Structure 1
């Protein structure tokens, strides 16, 4: 059950206030604010992707309302890595105040700068690396290398007069990383010895036992699948998964194939990664996808977006036969990514659609073509034992993940009262090694719908769902003022309602009678008469057809 909403008391001097704005109880929208002595630091600012019950929505943003009127107090935004669920909402925050500094690693800032360019925003940036320490308005920031499914990810230690906080960002403990960049457990241990008062820990895989498999285990599988493919190979992955694209490039090169990148975000991100040296492109492997048609089918690999079944992504357009690449018998499609919770149905539809077109679909369910970028339970236990934090705040996960992470912390000796099961908007104050929940803000979803931000409400989405699932009925009639006699109509039109329009003939007399009776009883307001019509038609439709369509009546007096 949601916590009771209550405002925190004013923040006392020398106390650090920590407020998760997003990322708790959901996979996405990761954003946390840290405030001390009137200054605010933000860590991450990501988006959440919509589910089926949110039709028409492009993105979901964190609710900026707690800081909207205090943007002059924001001293910077630390970005732990370049995934959309951690950087995707930055353009929308910077539209409110463009000169907030962005702090992150080289690749992370390059990816967000490219995104901001599309929004015509030129940001102020500070590039940092592991081992670097920066002092910003009362926050001493110390950056630590962590391994994740994108290069250049960082954890951040935040030292203040109130105590020290360690935020892992997204991480895992791959011992054989493709880029040789390990999660720096020595730094974690050193920070633990110095004293971590509050530990914010990635919870995404906290309910998965054991250890996350190494990224290197994927390479031989991809190589084998591509070697045995008789025709074209299409690999779908996240557009920022540099390591996965590297493995596809290497496997294609080893099997005498060339690679064409598909999808605007894939081309943009991999171009940046290659220019900065994070992606090593074998000589002569990449080819423009427009020229790939000239190659034999067994000499090409397409690297595309759409592994989550996104409607407008390349893979969905292939399934709908709306893409220039027509998938057919003998083609091999590899879904080289995990299933984000909520996307299962969309992904299974993609798999079914590709199979119907004759493709051999290889995915995590039938081959080891993906490993997670998040630490499993065994790794989290290691980290808790190394850091030995005083207080723990599980972040980045749905509620079951947060609970599982809390249990792991307790197993390593963190007292239950020192673990905080929070949700978006929970306000936590830290002082003298004590972390206390002091408030619960009422935060909601902010929907991006085309160029509209924040105007779409939950009520609007409910209307869209009704329109999509139940249909639409409009009733127009003109009545004589004073008598209520129907002069014109009722004219009834339906859309998305499977019955023939003739079925409405039986309800028309009841509408006429109900309006006349209402007028005789003194009802003359057009809105009130419209509601009479709505109730009559609504009861009839529900009783006769077990449907609840959107009903829009219009009564005109003459």
Structure 2
């Protein structure tokens, strides 16, 4: 249903007995997933993840959901429910708990283990509540039932949220792999049972809504992965998400079958695989995994390295290998296996790394040239199947870019969901479920919150625009020694540059324009140093832009002679 989302205002009070659903991330992007549910004066949060920066966001580590709309209601939050352990669903939890540390965190065993380890690095000890598929638990006015779903990480859960306002079924990330590596399939019987009971709002994963048919099974990848291990003459370097336990298990099995030892590279990879092993989610034959320092002295055809960096992250192990600043030196005959999909927005960075590794002589195996990765998300056929067994009264597609949300909405419409019962909305838009009917009620602040080192939220779009200018045009600093009586330079202006290519004539015209501008300033009786600096910046910037079509960052320093 098309909506004029830009004209929405802040929502009014929630109708008595109703439920308000607000996504603060995950709608219009693949990442930063976070949804707030409000009912009977209390709040519940499903997931709190991060989004990884793109090339046009230089210097940013991760991007958080915007907590502004709930910051004055932190005491009303009953719990955070985590559907699974991927960063785009749990990575923001430490930042929310820094604002209120005792919010209970609910999740499955592996998910809680991952988030607890992450929180330890932030010096936070969480209050956790472990649940399993089939469990039902009341938290404040919310009655929660957890349903097993299959995904690219073990222990994924959908959550059914029962309230007096109605029942919401949130799938989390899921697919319907009928032959999963851990034999844990999506519980369609529970979906059907909930459908019979009545689902008032169905919030379903949209990531693969444009992909026809059904997502192939994880087991179908085994032959291609085995081929890599039987044909590679030297080292095999596998790059994957640090939480992708299923794919790492396939790599370990192939390495073991081919007499190779394995070492994990990267702090998050070592940490997560250790947790998965200790909890029994990863089966590692005795002696297969060895310390990274030990493996380097082994014959190259007996080595497998498993590292992070599958999305082109500049500081991850794979990017550093490609740039030659890692102790692992990639060379002729090495094989690099990218065992993950491309997250939208990361394509340029990933292909840049592929090209660099290829130049170093490595053979690159990735989803584009071999069947070495399968998505963890339901394709269109699976989504249609779910719509037909759940038969929801209202639908709100989640988790995806705008095109994915609209494709998912079209599937819902084709299965019989009325057009006016399908809510395709953006981050921050509030949807109220009242008497079985879902309607848009307004919009709250839900911008991008940038984490820049230890600073949270200080970097803005203006900051990033300035950084892009710095990277594209360099810096010109103008030093002017002025006579306070005339505002005129007592000696020639000095132009100091960084990253700006110029010659002896480049600034001649700019200096003439500065002198004219300073004379006008004197005529207008402007003698404040800050104002004079702005005048110099404007004169130099406009001259360089007009004459040379260059836009460096220009700064001015005025010294009173």
TM-score by length of structure 2 reads 0.98
Correspondence for 1:346: 349
Deviations 1:360-380 (A, max 9, x none): 001111000100000000100
Correspondence for 1:48: 51
Correspondence for 1:370: 373
Q: Does 1:244 align with 2:244?
A: no
Question: Whole-Å Cα distance in 2 between the matches of residues 176 and 35 of structure 1?
Answer: 37
Question: Whole-Å Cα distance in 2 between the matches of residues 501 and 335 of structure 1?
Answer: 49
Question: Whole-Å Cα distance in 1 between the matches of residues 34 and 546 of structure 2?
Answer: 47
Deviations 1:364-420 (A, max 9, x none): 110001000000001000000010000000000000000000000001000110000
Q: Does 1:470 align with 2:473?
A: yes
Q: Quick check: 2:473–2:553 contact (8 Å CA) kept in 1?
A: yes
Correspondence for 1:71: 74
Match for 2:445 among 442, 445, 470? 442
Secondary structure in structure 2 of the residue aligned to 1:179: coil
Provide closer, same or farther for how the CA distance between residues 491 and 2 of structure 1 changes in structure 2, counting only shifts above 3 A: farther
Q: CA deviation at 1:502?
A: 5.0
Deviations 1:288-336 (A, max 9, x none): 1100012111111111111111111111111111111111111111101
Deviations 1:54-87 (A, max 9, x none): 1000010000011111010000000000000000
Comparing 516-525 and 368-377, the one that deviates more: 516-525
Question: 5+ residue gaps in structure 1?
Answer: none
Question: Whole-Å Cα distance in 1 between the matches of residues 103 and 341 of structure 2?
Answer: 33
Aligned 1:199-210 pairs, distance under 5 A: 199-210=202-213
Comparing 201-210 and 479-488, the one that deviates more: 479-488
Correspondence for 2:90: 87
Secondary structure in structure 2 of the residue aligned to 1:113: helix
Q: CA deviation at 1:506?
A: 4.2
Secondary structure in structure 2 of the residue aligned to 1:438: strand
Correspondence for 2:215: 212
Q: CA deviation at 1:501?
A: 5.4
Q: CA deviation at 1:5?
A: 3.5
Q: Does 1:24 align with 2:27?
A: yes
Correspondence for 2:146: 143
Aligned 1:256-335 pairs, distance under 5 A: 256-335=259-338
Could you say what the CA RMSD is over the residues aligned between the two structures, in angstroms? Answer: 1.1
Comparing 6-15 and 517-526, the one that deviates more: 517-526
Question: Whole-Å Cα distance in 2 between the matches of residues 395 and 267 of structure 1?
Answer: 31
Q: CA deviation at 1:141?
A: 0.2
Question: Whole-Å Cα distance in 1 between the matches of residues 17 and 491 of structure 2?
Answer: 73
Secondary structure in structure 1 of the residue aligned to 2:191: helix
Match for 2:458 among 455, 458, 468? 455
How many residues were matched structurally?
A: 558
Correspondence for 2:184: 181
Q: Quick check: 1:5–1:442 contact (8 Å CA) kept in 2?
A: no
Q: CA deviation at 1:212?
A: 0.7
Q: CA deviation at 1:485?
A: 2.6
Correspondence for 2:36: 33
Match for 1:412 among 403, 415, 424? 415
Secondary structure in structure 2 of the residue aligned to 1:503: coil
Correspondence for 2:520: 517
Question: Whole-Å Cα distance in 1 between the matches of residues 69 and 445 of structure 2?
Answer: 10
Secondary structure in structure 2 of the residue aligned to 1:220: helix
Q: Quick check: 2:217–2:374 contact (8 Å CA) kept in 1?
A: yes
Q: CA deviation at 1:527?
A: 2.5
Question: Whole-Å Cα distance in 1 between the matches of residues 349 and 411 of structure 2?
Answer: 32
Q: CA deviation at 1:2?
A: 5.0
Question: Whole-Å Cα distance in 1 between the matches of residues 76 and 509 of structure 2?
Answer: 65
Q: Quick check: 2:387–2:415 contact (8 Å CA) kept in 1?
A: yes
Question: Whole-Å Cα distance in 2 between the matches of residues 490 and 257 of structure 1?
Answer: 66
Question: 5+ residue gaps in structure 2?
Answer: none
Q: Quick check: 2:69–2:445 contact (8 Å CA) kept in 1?
A: no
Question: Whole-Å Cα distance in 1 between the matches of residues 516 and 37 of structure 2?
Answer: 64
Secondary structure in structure 2 of the residue aligned to 1:548: coil
Secondary structure in structure 2 of the residue aligned to 1:407: helix
Q: CA deviation at 1:481?
A: 1.6
Comparing 64-73 and 440-449, the one that deviates more: 440-449
Q: Quick check: 1:493–1:501 contact (8 Å CA) kept in 2?
A: no
Correspondence for 1:7: 10
Correspondence for 1:380: 383
Deviations 1:264-303 (A, max 9, x none): 1000000000000000011221011100012111111111
TM-score by length of structure 1 reads 0.98
Q: CA deviation at 1:510?
A: 3.3
Q: Quick check: 1:150–1:243 contact (8 Å CA) kept in 2?
A: yes
Question: Whole-Å Cα distance in 1 between the matches of residues 512 and 417 of structure 2?
Answer: 72
Q: Quick check: 1:476–1:489 contact (8 Å CA) kept in 2?
A: no
Q: CA deviation at 1:9?
A: 1.2
Question: Whole-Å Cα distance in 2 between the matches of residues 458 and 30 of structure 1?
Answer: 21
Q: Quick check: 1:163–1:433 contact (8 Å CA) kept in 2?
A: yes
Aligned 1:466-545 pairs, distance under 5 A: 466-500=469-503, 503-545=506-548
Q: Quick check: 2:509–2:543 contact (8 Å CA) kept in 1?
A: no
Q: CA deviation at 1:535?
A: 2.3
Q: Quick check: 2:5–2:429 contact (8 Å CA) kept in 1?
A: no
Q: CA deviation at 1:443?
A: 1.9
Secondary structure in structure 1 of the residue aligned to 2:490: strand
Moved over 6 A (4+): none
Deviations 1:329-362 (A, max 9, x none): 1111110100000100100011100100000001
Question: Whole-Å Cα distance in 2 between the matches of residues 31 and 156 of structure 1?
Answer: 14
Comparing 540-549 and 46-55, the one that deviates more: 540-549
Question: Whole-Å Cα distance in 2 between the matches of residues 118 and 535 of structure 1?
Answer: 46
Q: CA deviation at 1:513?
A: 3.3
Correspondence for 2:404: 401
Comparing 322-331 and 178-187, the one that deviates more: 322-331
